[in-house]
Amino acid sequence: MRLIQNFIGGEYTAGLSGKTFEKRSPLDNSVIARITEAGRDEVDAAVCAARAALHGEWGGLTVEQRVDLLYGVADEITRRFEDFVAAEMADTGQPSHVMRHVFIPRGAANFKVFADVVKNVPTETFQMSTPDGRGALNYAVRVPKGVVGVISPWNAPFLLMTWKVGPALACGNTLVVKPSEESPHTAALLGEVMNAVGIPKGVYNVVQGFGPDSAGEFLTRHPGVDAITFTGETRTGAAIMKAASDGMRDVSFELGGKNAGIVFADADFDAAVDGIFRSAFLNTGQVCLGTERVYVERPIFERFVQALKAKVEAVKFGRPDDPAANYGPLISQEHRQKVLSYYRKAVEEGATVVTGGGVPDMPGELAEGAWVQPTIWTGLPETAAVVQEEIFGPCCHIRPFDSENEVVALANDTDYGLSTTIWTTHLARAHRIAARIEVGITWINSWFLRDLRTAFGGSKQSGIGREGGVHSLEFYTETRNVCVKL
């Protein structure tokens, strides 16, 4: 069994309190790692190490030197690709192809892309006239925010953590990262990469532990943290916002979603079925951008439901390294209980269960894992809990619609506003609808197609702020204006 420690000032350290916790495999509930839990003292040590690094060698590097180091980090992740794949698979139990083709390569890309952004972004300047006719020149200087606290979730741990670590480092900040208690491996492994590449000690620190009354809360309440970037549940975001208000620290929040998928009768039918299947069921439905509400134009409704059902019923459950398997478990027993409670609630609320609704029969020790059947419902009113609340599991409700106005109203009838996917060959209509849907990200005839230079974030209760490309620079730097009288 592995022992995972905190990473502070470039060293893996045993906790002062001696407290540890277990990480269990989602596949069979066996204990796969024991983790040193950071208490207040470790969090304080990590913040102090980050503060010292800000004023040390790291703070004196040129942009070009930082960019070179970040390219080095990306290359080292690629060199240790198999280690990252194995670490992430151990934590999440998801199929190896998802790690290999999406999550780990994206982790490396998060360093390269933001190194490029920082290198290429121009400086804002304004010339102004003055009464003496000689004028003045204003120019903006970007400086790092300082010590940034990164709090990340378990559903795509490496991608989502590095999506913040990459731009934060590119902008010259130093970091204390608190990965989810359910996915401690890759944040810890990244410490080895930082050391191998020569990132100065203290620039990247990791404290392991839980949220309330543990490393997460201690970090967000620490006065030495200048800004907090968080991805996770909306409720947790609210708690972190309260903590951040002490000292007026800046926040960037990527929160929950209850995203709509909209399919018009003129859509490329097979592409739409494939697209909605991916968006609802990839990663066992544990994707914030995932579709849990599907609206299908009435003429193709029945055919669509049957086609999606056939795809769902073809999934093969199994271990990530089983070549015959393509579907993984949920992250934990606790999350499985939550998802299964919604499966029961759907039935109580009168849903027609098109497929799924329970747990699959798994052989041997896998019977102890966090497996659930992917599930489709129809027939519920929009007020039903499973249509309104984020479940974060492999399930969706499908409802027919008859008009553009109706489907826009249905899609917007939620407290969340993260993403939408629209399937149609009528591009002018798709464009029109995209402008009316209250979300941060709309995909047309695609889903989770990411250009890291674009704005990413949620409306309503799905987030505060935008990251991606220059939007990340807005959060991870402070802009100072210099006015020169000529």
Residue positions annotated with a catalytic role: 254, 288
Tell me the window of 139-147, 209-217, 259-267, 274-282 that interacts with ligand NAD (CB under 6 A). Answer: 209-217
Pick the binder of ligand NAD from 257, 320, 328, 469 (CB under 6 A).
257
Contacts of 172 (CB under 8 A, 6+ apart): 58, 59, 61, 66, 143, 144, 477
Interacting partner of 163 out of ligand NAD, ligand 6OD, none (Cβ under 5 to 8 A depending on kind): ligand 6OD
Q: Which of residues 37 and 217 has its CB atom nearest to ligand NAD in the complex?
A: 217
Tell me the window of 17-25, 176-184, 359-367, 442-450 that interacts with ligand NAD (CB under 6 A). Answer: 176-184
Q: Does 357 bind ligand NAD (CB under 6 A)?
A: no
Q: How far is the CB of 457 from ligand NAD (least distance, A)?
A: 7
Q: Which residue is nearest to ligand NAD (CB)?
A: 211
Query: Residue 60 corresponds to which tokens in the numbers above?
Result: 């004196």
Q: Does 220 bind ligand 6OD (CB under 6 A)?
A: no
Q: Which of residues 320 and 457 has its CB atom nearest to ligand 6OD in the complex?
A: 457
Tell me the window of 112-120, 143-151, 285-293, 303-311 that interacts with ligand 6OD (CB under 6 A). Answer: 285-293
Q: Does 472 bind ligand 6OD (CB under 6 A)?
A: no
Interacting partner of 307 out of ligand NAD, ligand 6OD, none (Cβ under 5 to 8 A depending on kind): none
Q: Does 442 bind ligand 6OD (CB under 6 A)?
A: no
List Cα–Cα distances, 165 to 106, 228, 418, 454, in angstroms.
12, 12, 22, 17
Strand partners, 355: 376
Pick the binder of ligand 6OD from 401, 416, 456, 476 (CB under 6 A).
456
* CA-based nearest residue to 283, from 411, 169, 369, 155: 155
Total binding residues for ligand NAD by CB under 6 A?
Answer: 32
Q: Does 160 bind ligand NAD (CB under 6 A)?
A: yes
Q: Does 236 bind ligand NAD (CB under 6 A)?
A: yes
Q: Does 42 bind ligand NAD (CB under 6 A)?
A: no
Pick the binder of ligand 6OD from 161, 206, 215, 289 (CB under 6 A).
289
Binding mask 216-235 for ligand NAD (x = CB under 6 A): xx--x----------xxx--
Pick the binder of ligand NAD from 24, 66, 178, 249 (CB under 6 A).
178
Q: How far is the CB of 156 from ligand 6OD (least distance, A)?
A: 5
Strand partners, 130: none
Pick the binder of ligand 6OD from 287, 331, 366, 408 (CB under 6 A).
287
3-state secondary structure the chain: CEEECEEECCEEECCCCCCEEEEECCCCCCEEEEEECCCHHHHHHHHHHHHHHHCCCHHHCCHHHHHHHHHHHHHHHHHCHHHHHHHHHHHHCCCHHHHHHHHHHHHHHHHHHHHHHHHHCCCCEEEECCCCCCCEEEEEEEEECCEEEEECCCCCHHHHHHHHHHHHHHCCCEEEEECCCCCCHHHHHHHHHHHHHCCCCCCEEECCCCCCCCHHHHHHHCCCCCEEEEECCHHHHHHHHHHHHCCCCEEEEECCCCEEEEECCCCCHHHHHHHHHHHHHHHHHCCCCCEEEEEEEHHHHHHHHHHHHHHHHCCCECCCCCCCCCECCCCCHHHHHHHHHHHHHHHHCCCEEEECCCCCCCCHHHHHCCCCCCEEEECCCCCCHHHHCCCCCCEEEEEEECCHHHHHHHHHCCCEECEEEEECCCHHHHHHHHHHCCCCEEEECCCCCCCCCCCECCEECCEECCECHHHHHHHHEEEEEEEEEC
Interacting partner of 304 out of ligand NAD, ligand 6OD, none (Cβ under 5 to 8 A depending on kind): none
Tell me the window of 47-55, 184-192, 252-260, 360-368 that interacts with ligand NAD (CB under 6 A). Answer: 252-260
How far apart CA 156 and CA 179 sit, in angstroms, is 11
Q: Which of residues 112 and 178 has its CB atom nearest to ligand NAD in the complex?
A: 178
Q: Does 163 bind ligand 6OD (CB under 6 A)?
A: yes
Binding mask 13-32 for ligand 6OD (x = CB under 6 A): --------------------
Q: Does 158 bind ligand NAD (CB under 6 A)?
A: no
Site for ligand NAD, rule CB under 6 A: 151-155, 160, 178, 180-181, 210-212, 216-217, 220, 231-233, 236, 239-240, 254-257, 288, 390, 392, 418, 458, 462-463
Site for ligand 6OD, rule CB under 6 A: 155-156, 160, 163, 287-289, 450, 456
